[in-house]
C-alpha cells in the first residue's frame, strides 16, 4: 500500500467520524430545543396554575435574562461549561476525526514529497483541516459547540465532495508552482478561509437568532407564545453577541487574506513577470477582499450593522467557496504553465 | 463586550473624527447642526445655494454609506472581467470569443466588457472611491494630529453610568486625612496606568482626585496609514505605468538577443514616458536549454535556460534563467516564459540554390509538444512559397491515421508540411504574424487538398517539392555538433517596472496599518477617589473607542491590580458589574 492509498483510507475514515460528530452535535441541538420547550411549557403551566393573565409571551426581563445567561455560557471556561452530553461527544468525535484528517493530509504530503496543498484536492484537504483546527482551538476560549453541527456538516460535504470530484494522483509540480510562495501564499489563504468559514457560520446563526429575537420581542405582552422552528436558538447567545464574535473571526480572516493578496502578487511577479494582471483567480481574490472590506465598513455604518452586514459576511464566504470550486475548475486563467505566449 | 449604543458619550467628547454616518461619530455641535439639516430632508429645506449644494455633495461623497456602496459596486464591477476574456490578459481569447459570438461581440465591445479594468465605468467607480477616501482621510488626519497632542479628556461626572465600571471603598489609614488618601490612591493608579502605556492627566477638584487615561492612538494612526497606503498603491500603479515597459523575444539555442528596440524584440509595449532610444544594449545568448521529463507521466519540468549575458565593454557572464527565478539585467527583469522546438529547415529551388535556411520556432499545441510552425519563402526565383508545418518530437499514429506526439522529448522526431504557392501577402507592408500563414491568395500544392501528399521528414532527410520546384531538408543538428537533432528555443519576457517596489512598500504599509487598526484597542480609563467620611470610595471605569472585546476584562484587571498596590485589603471587594448586563 502506498502512502497515497493510506491517505485516501484515512480520509474516508475521517469523513465517517465527522459524520458521527455531526450526528452527535445535531442530537445536542435537538436536546437543547427540548430543554427550551420544556422551560416554556413549565412557565405556561405555572401561569395557568396561578391564573396570571399574561399569555405565553416572555417578558422583556426574561428575554434579557436568557441573553445574559447565554453570554455567560459562551465565555465560560471549559471546566465551567454546561455538561451537554452529546455536545461533549461531538467534540470528542470531531477531535478524533480531525486526527485522521491530519493523518490523511500528512501522508498525502509524504506521498507527494512536498506540501499537501498544490491542487484542488489538496487545497480541500488542507483547507478543511484548518477550519476544524481553528474551530477546535477556539473552543478553548469560547463555547461555540453549538456551531459543531454546522461545521461538521460543512466539512463532510466539502471533504466528501473533494474526495469524489477532485481526487487526483500525485503528479510532479509544474514549474511555476515550485516556489516558497506556494508554501506561504496557499497556506495563508487556506488559514484565512478557515477563519472566514467560522465567521460565516456565526453570521448564519446570527441571522436566525435576530429573526427569533424580533418575533420574541413582538410577542412580549401578547397572548401568543413566540413560535420558532429552531427552539434551541433560545439557548444561544444573542444576535448582537454573535455578530461581534463573527466580526472578530472575520477581521483575522481579512488580515490573512490581505497577506494572501500581497504574497500572491509577489509570486506572480516572480513567475509571470507582473504582479497584477487581473487574471481570473486574481480578480476573485480581489473581489473577496473588497467584499470583506465592505463588511468591515458596514459594521461601522449607521443602518448597516446587524442583519445587513451579516449578509455581507455570508456573501463573502460564498465567494470564497465559489473561487475555490467553480473558478478553479471552469474559468480560463493563467494558472497553468502552457509553454508559450501566443 | 464591545461598545454599547447607550454609552453616555455626551460626557466624553472628542474621539477620532468619523464621517457623519459612522456609528461612532462624536457629536460635536457643528455636526449636530448638519445632521438636523440632513434630517429635515425634503421638509421645507432652507435654500442651500451653490456652495451649500457643493458641501452637501461633498459630505455625501465622503460618507461611510457612499464608501460602502462604492466598495460593493467595485466588487460587482470586477466580476465580468473574469467571465469575459480580457484584451490585456488574453487577447487570443477575445479573438476566439468574437468568432464564436459574432452577434454579441459589438454590444459587448461597446460596453467595454473586453477591457473591464480600464473601462469608463470601472474607472469611474474606483476614482470616486478614492476621491471619497482622500476626502475622508485628510480631515481625519488633521484631527488625529491634534488629538495626538491633546490631553485625555476630563473625568466624567458620573462614572457609574459607563457600562464597564467597578467600585470599591477603602478605609482611611490612621493618621491620614481622607483627601490625602484619595490623592495617594489616584497617584498609584496614575503610575499604574502610565506604566501600561496610557497617556494620563490628573483632574483633582474639591478633594476628589481623579485620573483620566487614554491609550491606543495607534489604532487611528493605523487606520489612516492603511487608507493612505491604499492611495499610495493606486498612485504608484498609475504613475509607475508610464515608466514601465515590457517586451517579448524568442531565442534559439546558439542564438542571441540584443536589448534594442529594432534588433531584439518580437513585441514591445512601452509606457508613455519611456525613452525607447535609451535602452541599455546588453545581450543574451542561449547556450543550452535543459528540460527534465518526469518518469511515467512524461511531464516536462525543471526548465533551465543556460545563457551568456554581456554588457558592452564587460566580460561575459554565465547565468541560468528558470521559471520563478528571473535574472536582472540593467534594472530589467528577464523571465523565462516558454519553450519549444525550432527545427532547422533548408529549402532549395529547382535550380538547387538555397532559398531558405533557418531554425524556425514552432509553437507547442499540446503537453506532448505537438507543435505548429510556418515557413515563408518570398524569393524562390519563381512563385512565392509558404509552408505550414507540424512537428512531433516523438511521433505516433492515431487510429484515424493522423499523426500526433506521444512524448515531449526527442525520441522519434518527425516534421510534416503542407505547401502553398502564390502570394504570401507580405509585399504590401501589412504586418503579418510569423506564426500564421494567410493562404487566401495561395494554392495548395502538397497536402490534403492537393494532388501531392504532404511532406514528411525525419532529421537529416531531404524530400522533393512536387513539380520539380526543389527540395526541403530537415537538418539534423547533431551533424553540426549540437547535442540533439533539433534545437530548442525559449521565449523571454523582459520587464522594467521600477514602480513595483513602491507598490510593494505601500502594500506592506497598508498591511501593517490594517493590523494596528484592527487589533490595537483604543480605550479610555478613569480612576476616581472620593473621600467619604473615614472611607474613600474608589471608582474605575473604561470606555472602548471602537471594537474592543477585552474592555470589561481590562477594567476588572485595573481595579484588581490597583487594589493590590494600594497594599491594603479593600473593605469590600471590587464589584465589577461588567460581566452581568
Ligand atoms: C479603497 C477603498 C477603501 C477600502 C479598501 C477600505 C478598507 C477599510 C478597512 C479594511 C477598514 C478596517 C481597518 C481599519 O479600521 O482601519 C476600514 C475602516 C474604515 N474606513 Fe475604509 N476603506 C476604503 C475607503 C474608505 C472611505 C472612502 C472612507 C470614508 C468614508 C473610509 C472610512 C473608514 C473608516 C471610518 C473606518 C473605521 C471603521 C471603524 O470604525 O471600525 N474608508 N476601511
pLDDT in tens, B169-191: 888 887 788 888 889 899 999 99
Task: Judge: B68–A287 Cβ closer than 8 Å, yes or no.
Answer: no
Instruction: Give the model's pLDDT for residue B356.
Output: 93
In whole angstroms, give the CA distance from residue B235 to residue B503: 9
A311 touches chain B (CB under 8 A): no
Q: How confident is the model at residue B441 (pLDDT cuts 50, 70, 90)?
A: confident
pLDDT tops 80 at residue B20: no
Tell me the per-residue pLDDT of B494-527, one tens digit each, with 9 for 90 and over: 998 888 899 999 999 999 999 999 999 889 999 9
- How far, in Å, from the CA of B546 to the mean position of ligand 1? 13
Instruction: Give the model's pLDDT for residue A223.
Output: 64
State which H helix or E strand residue B502 sits in: helix B499-519
Kindly write down the DSSP assignment for every residue of A28-39, as one continuous string.
HHHHHHHHHHHH
Instruction: Give the model's pLDDT for residue B236.
Output: 93
Instruction: Give the model's pLDDT for residue B381.
Output: 84
Of A263 and B48, the one with more pLDDT: A263
C-alpha cell at A157: 460535504
Helix ranges (H only) for chain A are 3-50, 60-75, 85-112, 120-139, 148-161, 180-181, 187-219, 239-271, 280-299, 307-322, 328-330
Tell me the per-residue pLDDT of B331-366, one tens digit each, with 9 for 90 and over: 899 999 889 999 999 999 988 899 999 999 999 888
Contact status, residue A187 vs residue A125, Cβ threshold 8 Å: no
* B151-216+521-568 CATH: 3.30.310.50
Instruction: Give the model's pLDDT for residue B3.
Output: 40
Instruction: Give the model's pLDDT for residue B29.
Output: 35
Cα angle for residues B414, B419, B421 (degrees, 5° grid): 160
CA atoms within a 13 Å half-sphere pointing along the CA-CB vector of B291: 25
The domain segmentation of chain B, as residue ranges, is 49-138, 151-216+521-568, 245-340+492-496, 344-474
Task: Judge: B64–A301 Cβ closer than 8 Å, yes or no.
Answer: yes
Task: Judge: A178–B117 Cβ closer than 8 Å, yes or no.
Answer: no
By percentage, how much of chain B surpasses pLDDT 70?
90
Of B23, B246, B547, the CB nearest to A302: B23
Of A90-94, A175-179, A187-191, the range with the lowest mean pLDDT is A175-179
Pocket residues for ligand 1 (CB within 6 Å)? A 293, 296-297, 300; B 18-19, 22, 24, 62-64, 67, 71, 129, 132-133, 136, 223, 226-227, 230, 514, 517-518, 546
Of A142-146, A183-187, B6-10, B528-532, the range with the lowest mean pLDDT is B6-10
In whole angstroms, give the CA distance from residue B366 to residue B121: 38
In whole angstroms, give the CA distance from residue B249 to residue B257: 8
- The mean per-residue pLDDT over the stretch B403-414 comes to 90
Contact status, residue A175 vs residue A265, Cβ threshold 8 Å: no
Cα angle for residues B82, B88, B92 (degrees, 5° grid): 85
Q: Which of B73, B89, B297 to mutate to test the interface with A (most CBs of A within 10 A)?
A: B89
Q: At what angle do helices B217-240 and B499-519 cross, to 10 degrees?
A: 160
Q: How confident is the model at residue B413 (pLDDT cuts 50, 70, 90)?
A: very high
- The mean per-residue pLDDT over the stretch B56-84 comes to 90
Contacts of B540 (CB under 8 A, 6+ apart): B159, B165, B166, B167, B525, B526, B527, B555, B558, B559, B562, B574
- The mean per-residue pLDDT over the stretch B555-580 comes to 66
Share the mean pLDDT of chain B: 85
Instruction: Give the model's pLDDT for residue A7.
Output: 92
Of B296-300, B380-384, B439-443, the range with the lowest mean pLDDT is B296-300
C-alpha cell at A279: 487574471
- The mean per-residue pLDDT over the stretch A189-209 comes to 95
C-alpha cell at B485: 537533432
Residues of A in contact with B495 (CB under 8 A): 273-274
Determine the atom of ligand 1 nearest the C-alpha atom of B224: 16
ipTM reported for the complex, 2 dp: 0.89
- The mean per-residue pLDDT over the stretch B404-408 comes to 89
B353: helix, strand or coil: coil
B294 touches chain A (CB under 8 A): yes
B41: helix, strand or coil: coil
Q: Which of B324, B435, B521, B580 to mutate to test the interface with A (most CBs of A within 10 A)?
A: B324
Selection from B359, B314, B361, B372 nearest residue B337 by Cα: B361
Instruction: Give the model's pLDDT for residue B25.
Output: 62
Residue with cell 501600561: B196
B308-317, long-range: CB within 8 Å, 24+ apart, which pairs? B308/B284, B309/B282, B309/B283, B309/B284, B309/B285, B310/B282, B310/B283, B310/B285, B311/B280, B311/B282, B312/B281, B312/B282
pLDDT tops 90 at residue A314: yes
Task: Judge: A302–B64 Cβ closer than 8 Å, yes or no.
Answer: yes
Tell me the per-residue pLDDT of B365-378, one tens digit each, with 9 for 90 and over: 888 899 999 999 98
- The mean per-residue pLDDT over the stretch A41-66 comes to 64
Best mutation site among B219, B223, B511 for ligand 1, i.e. most ligand atoms within 8 A of its Cβ?
A: B223
pLDDT tops 60 at residue B40: no
In whole angstroms, give the CA distance from residue B9 to residue B27: 8
Instruction: Give the model's pLDDT for residue B462.
Output: 94
pLDDT tops 60 at residue B33: no
Residue of A nearest to B490 (CA): A340
- The mean per-residue pLDDT over the stretch A44-64 comes to 62
Selection from B530, B559, B561, B529 nearest residue B542 by Cα: B559
B553 touches chain A (CB under 8 A): no
Residue of B nearest to A170 (CA): B297
In whole angstroms, give the CA distance from residue A244 to residue B5: 14
Q: How confident is the model at residue A201 (pLDDT cuts 50, 70, 90)?
A: very high
Residue B370 burial (10 A CB sphere; 0-12, 13-18, 19+)? buried
Instruction: Give the model's pLDDT for residue A167.
Output: 84
pLDDT tops 60 at residue B274: yes
Task: Judge: A294–B68 Cβ closer than 8 Å, yes or no.
Answer: yes
pLDDT tops 50 at residue B43: no
Tell me the per-residue pLDDT of B526-563, one tens digit each, with 9 for 90 and over: 999 998 888 889 999 999 887 788 888 889 889 999 98
Q: Which of B65, B72, B362 to mutate to test the interface with A (most CBs of A within 10 A)?
A: B72
Q: How far is CA B105 from CA B12, B39, B86, in A?
A: 61, 48, 13
C-alpha cell at A280: 481570473
pLDDT tops 60 at residue B2: no
Instruction: Give the model's pLDDT for residue B235.
Output: 93
Q: What is the DSSP letter of B378?
A: S
Task: Judge: A283–B81 Cβ closer than 8 Å, yes or no.
Answer: yes
pLDDT tops 60 at residue A54: no
Contact status, residue B414 vs residue B403, Cβ threshold 8 Å: yes
Q: How far is CA B247 from CA B5, B250, B288, B500, in A?
A: 58, 10, 22, 17
Burial string for A37-62 (b: 16+ CB within 10 Å, else e) reads: eeebeeeeeeeeeeeeeeebbbeeee
- The mean per-residue pLDDT over the stretch B108-112 comes to 93
User: What radius of gyration, in Å, describes the C-alpha atoms of chain B?
Assistant: 38
C-alpha cell at A221: 405582552
Tell me the per-residue pLDDT of B230-239, one tens digit each, with 9 for 90 and over: 999 999 998 8
pLDDT tops 50 at residue A336: no
Share the mean pLDDT of chain A: 85
Instruction: Give the model's pLDDT for residue A334.
Output: 53
Selection from A299, A287, A306, A145 nearest residue A239 by Cα: A306
Instruction: Give the model's pLDDT for residue B498.
Output: 82
Instruction: Give the model's pLDDT for residue B35.
Output: 45
Residues of A in contact with B74 (CB under 8 A): 290
Task: Judge: B297–A298 Cβ closer than 8 Å, yes or no.
Answer: no
Instruction: Give the model's pLDDT for residue A293.
Output: 96
pLDDT tops 90 at residue B471: yes
Of B60 and B393, the one with more pLDDT: B393
Q: How confident is the model at residue B467 (pLDDT cuts 50, 70, 90)?
A: confident
Contacts of B362 (CB under 8 A, 6+ apart): B340, B341, B342, B343, B371, B372, B373, B389, B391
B248 touches chain A (CB under 8 A): yes
- The mean per-residue pLDDT over the stretch A286-312 comes to 93
Range 52-81 of A in CB contact (< 8 A) with B: 64, 67-68, 71-72
Residue with cell 461626572: B157
- The mean per-residue pLDDT over the stretch A69-80 comes to 79
Task: Judge: B22–A273 Cβ closer than 8 Å, yes or no.
Answer: no
A138 touches chain B (CB under 8 A): no
Contacts of B417 (CB under 8 A, 6+ apart): B375, B387, B388, B389, B390, B446, B447, B454, B455, B457, B472
By percentage, how much of chain B surpasses pLDDT 90?
43
Burial string for B549-572 (b: 16+ CB within 10 Å, else e) reads: eebbebbbebbbebbeebeeebee
Q: How many CB pairs under 8 A join A and B?
A: 170
Phi then psi dihedrals of residue A26, to 5 deg: -65, -45
In whole angstroms, give the CA distance from residue B370 to residue B392: 5
Instruction: Give the model's pLDDT for residue B372.
Output: 92
Of A198-202, B72-76, B116-120, B277-281, the range with the lowest mean pLDDT is B277-281
Task: Judge: A291–B75 Cβ closer than 8 Å, yes or no.
Answer: yes
Tell me the per-residue pLDDT of B191-223, one tens digit each, with 9 for 90 and over: 999 998 899 999 988 888 999 999 989 999 999
Q: What is the DSSP letter of A226?
A: P
Range 5-34 of B in CB contact (< 8 A) with A: 18, 21-24
Q: How far apart are the first and last CA of chain B?
A: 10
C-alpha cell at B22: 459612522
User: What radius of gyration, in Å, describes the C-alpha atoms of chain A?
Assistant: 23
In whole angstroms, give the CA distance from residue B73 to residue B126: 9
In whole angstroms, give the CA distance from residue B117 to residue B195: 51
pLDDT tops 60 at residue B32: no
Residue of B nearest to A336 (CA): B367
Tell me the per-residue pLDDT of B419-437, one tens digit each, with 9 for 90 and over: 999 888 777 766 667 778 8
- The mean per-residue pLDDT over the stretch A42-46 comes to 67
Amino acid at each position: 500500500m502506498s502512502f497515497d492509498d493510506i491517505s485516501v483510507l484515512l480520509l474516508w475514515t475521517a469523513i465517517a467520524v465527522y459524520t458521527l460528530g455531526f450526528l452527535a452535535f445535531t442530537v445536542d441541538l435537538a436536546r437543547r430545543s427540548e430543554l427550551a420547550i420544556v422551560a416554556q411549557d413549565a412557565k405556561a403551566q405555572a401561569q395557568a396554575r396561578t391564573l396570571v393573565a399574561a399569555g405565553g409571551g416572555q417578558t422583556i426581563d426574561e428575554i434579557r435574562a436568557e441573553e445574559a445567561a447565554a453570554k455567560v455560557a459562551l465565555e465560560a471556561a471549559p471546566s465551567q461549561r454546561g455538561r451537554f452530553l452529546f455536545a461533549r461527544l461531538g467534540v470528542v468525535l470531531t477531535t478524533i476525526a480531525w486526527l485522521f484528517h491530519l493523518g490523511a493530509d500528512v501522508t498525502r504530503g509524504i506521498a507527494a514529497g512536498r506540501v499537501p496543498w498544490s491542487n484542488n484536492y489538496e487545497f480541500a484537504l488542507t483547507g478543511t483541516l484548518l477550519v476544524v483546527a481553528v474551530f477546535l482551538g477556539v473552543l478553548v476560549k469560547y463555547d461555540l459547540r453549538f456551531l459543531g453541527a454546522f461545521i461538521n456538516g460543512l466539512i463532510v460535504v466539502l471533504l466528501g465532495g473533494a474526495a469524489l470530484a477532485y481526487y487526483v494522483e500525485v503528479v510532479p509540480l509544474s514549474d511555476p508552482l515550485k516556489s516558497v510562495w506556494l508554501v506561504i501564499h496557499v497556506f495563508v489563504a487556506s488559514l484565512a478561509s478557515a477563519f472566514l468559514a467560522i465567521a460565516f457560520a456565526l453570521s448564519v446563526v446570527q441571522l436566525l437568532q435576530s429573526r427569533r429575537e424580533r418575533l420574541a420581542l413582538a410577542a412580549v405582552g401578547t397572548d401568543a407564545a413566540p413560535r420558532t422552528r429552531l427552539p434551541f436558538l433560545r439557548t444561544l447567545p444573542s444576535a448582537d453577541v454573535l455578530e461581534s464574535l463573527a466580526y472578530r473571526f472575520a477581521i483575522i480572516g481579512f488580515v490573512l487574506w490581505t497577506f494572501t493578496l500581497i504574497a500572491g502578487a509577489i509570486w506572480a511577479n516572480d513567475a509571470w513577470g507582473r504582479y497584477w494582471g487581473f487574471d481570473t483567480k486574481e480578480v476573485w481574490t480581489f473581489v473577496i477582499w473588497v467584499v470583506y472590506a465592505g463588511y468591515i465598513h458596514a459594521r461601522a455604518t449607521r443602518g448597516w450593522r446587524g442583519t445587513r452586514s451579516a449578509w455581507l459576511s455570508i456573501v463573502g464566504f460564498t465567494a470564497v467557496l465559489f473561487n475555490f470550486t467553480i473558478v478553479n475548475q471552469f474559468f480560463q486563467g493563467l494558472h497553468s504553465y502552457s509553454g508559450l505566449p501566443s | 463586550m464591545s461598545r454599547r449604543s447607550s454609552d453616555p458619550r455626551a460626557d466624553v467628547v472628542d474621539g477620532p473624527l468619523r464621517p457623519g454616518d459612522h456609528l461612532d461619530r462624536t457629536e460635536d455641535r457643528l455636526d449636530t447642526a448638519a445632521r438636523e439639516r440632513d434630517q429635515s430632508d425634503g421638509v421645507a429645506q432652507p435654500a442651500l445655494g451653490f456652495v451649500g449644494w457643493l458641501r452637501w455633495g461633498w459630505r455625501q461623497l465622503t460618507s461611510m454609506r457612499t464608501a460602502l456602496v462604492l466598495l460593493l459596486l467595485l466588487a460587482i464591477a470586477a466580476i465580468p472581467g473574469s467571465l469575459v476574456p480580457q484584451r490585456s490578459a488574453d487577447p487570443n481569447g477575445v479573438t476566439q470569443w468574437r468568432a464564436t459570438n459574432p452577434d454579441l461581440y459589438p454590444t459587448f465591445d461597446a460596453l467595454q466588457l473586453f477591457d473591464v479594468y480600464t473601462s469608463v465605468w470601472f474607472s469611474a467607480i474606483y476614482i470616486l472611491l478614492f476621491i471619497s477616501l482622500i476626502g475622508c482621510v485628510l480631515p481625519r488626519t488633521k484631527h488625529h494630529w491634534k488629538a495626538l497632542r491633546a490631553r485625555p479628556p476630563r473625568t466624567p461626572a458620573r462614572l457609574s453610568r459607563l457600562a464597564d465600571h467597578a467600585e470599591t471603598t477603602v478605609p482611611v489609614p490612621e493618621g491620614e486625612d481622607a483627601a490625602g488618601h484619595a490623592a495617594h490612591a489616584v497617584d498609584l493608579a496614575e503610575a499604574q496606568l502610565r506604566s501600561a502605556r496610557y497617556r494620563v492627566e490628573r483632574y483633582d477638584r474639591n478633594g476628589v482626585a481623579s485620573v483620566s487615561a487614554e491609550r491606543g492612538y495607534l489604532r487611528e494612526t493605523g487606520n489612516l496609514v492603511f487608507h493612505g497606503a491604499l492611495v499610495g498603491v493606486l498612485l504608484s500603479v498609475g504613475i509607475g505605468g508610464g515608466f514601465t515597459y515590457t517586451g517579448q523575444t524568442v531565442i534559439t539555442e546558439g542564438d542571441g538577443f540584443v536589448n534594442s528596440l529594432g534588433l531584439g524584440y518580437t513585441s514591445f509595449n512601452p509606457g508613455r514616458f519611456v525613452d525607447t532610444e535609451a535602452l541599455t544594449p546588453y545581450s543574451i545568448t542561449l547556450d543550452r536549454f535543459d528540460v527534465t521529463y518526469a518518469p511515467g507521466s512524461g511531464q516536462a519540468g525543471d526548465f533551465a535556460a543556460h545563457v551568456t549575458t554581456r554588457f558592452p565593454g564587460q566580460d561575459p557572464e554565465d547565468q541560468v534563467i528558470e521559471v520563478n527565478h528571473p535574472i536582472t539585467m540593467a534594472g530589467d527583469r528577464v523571465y523565462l516564459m516558454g519553450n519549444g522546438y525550432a527545427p532547422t529547415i533548408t529549402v532549395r529551388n529547382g535550380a538547387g540554390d538555397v532559398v531558405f535556411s533557418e531554425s524556425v520556432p514552432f509553437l507547442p499545441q499540446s503537453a506532448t509538444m505537438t507543435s505548429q510552425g510556418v515557413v515563408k519563402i518570398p524569393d524562390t526565383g519563381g512563385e512565392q512559397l509558404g509552408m505550414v508545418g507540424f512537428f512531433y518530437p516523438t511521433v505516433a499514429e492515431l487510429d484515424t491515421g493522423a499523426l500526433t506526439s506521444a512524448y515531449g522529448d526527442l525520441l522519434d522526431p518527425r516534421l510534416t508540411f503542407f505547401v502553398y504557392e502564390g502570394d504570401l501577402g507580405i509585399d504590401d507592408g501589412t504586418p503579418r504574424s510569423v506564426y500564421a500563414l494567410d493562404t487566401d491568395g495561395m494554392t495548395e500544392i502538397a497536402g490534403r487538398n492537393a494532388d501531392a501528399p504532404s511532406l514528411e521528414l525525419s532529421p537529416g532527410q531531404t524530400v522533393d517539392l512536387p513539380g520539380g520546384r526543389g527540395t526541403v531538408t530537415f537538418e539534423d543538428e547533431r551533424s553540426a555538433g549540437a547535442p540533439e537533432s533539433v534545437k530548442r528555443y525559449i521565449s523571454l519576457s523582459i520587464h522594467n517596472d521600477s514602480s513595483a517596489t513602491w507598490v510593494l512598500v505601500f502594500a506592506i504599509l497598508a498591511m501593517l496599518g490594517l493590523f494596528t487598526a484592527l487589533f490595537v484597542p483604543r480605550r479610555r480609563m478613569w480612576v476616581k477617589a472620593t473621600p467619604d467620611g473615614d472611607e474613600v470610595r474608589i471608582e474605575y471605569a473604561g470606555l472602548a473607542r471602537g471594537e474592543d472585546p477585552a474592555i470589561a476584562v481590562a477594567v476588572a484587571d485595573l481595579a484588581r491590580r490597583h487594589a493590590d498596590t494600594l497594599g491594603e485589603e479593600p473593605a469590600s471587594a471590587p464589584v465589577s458589574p461588567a460581566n452581568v448586563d
